[in-house]
Amino acid sequence: MGTGAEPIEELMADVDRTLLRTNLKLSPAERLEKFVSFMRLTSELTQAGQKQRSLTAAGRRQRRPQ
């Protein structure tokens, strides 16, 4: 009979443990600051993508033969 650790070990095979250790060395406030910075980046990327899609769509509308 297994100990139940096998599924956990399988999941941990794809986890970057150095990244976990690095983040755990940060204080909770530093982790939160890092998260907020990441969320700002994702928001900026989302807005840039939306802007690019709208510009591309506007360009397509202008090029349609009348």
Per-residue pLDDT of the chain (66 residues; tens, 9 = 90+): 456 668 888 888 888 999 999 999 999 999 999 999 999 999 999 999 999 999 988 887 777 665
What is the pLDDT, as a whole number, of residue 7?
A: 85
33 close to 40: Cβ distance less than 8 angstroms: no
Confirm whether 60 is domain-assigned.
Answer: yes
Separation CA 10–CA 5 (nearest Å)? 9
Confirm whether 64 is domain-assigned.
Answer: yes
Confirm whether 3 is domain-assigned.
Answer: no
Confirm whether 16 is domain-assigned.
Answer: no
Domain limits at 55? 38-66
What is the pLDDT, as a whole number, of residue 14?
A: 87
Confirm whether 52 is domain-assigned.
Answer: yes
What is the pLDDT, as a whole number, of residue 64?
A: 66
Number of domains making up the chain: 1
Q: What is the DSSP string of 18-58?
A: HHHHHHHTS-HHHHHHHHHHHHHHHHHHHHHHHHHHHHHHH
What is the pLDDT, as a whole number, of residue 2?
A: 58
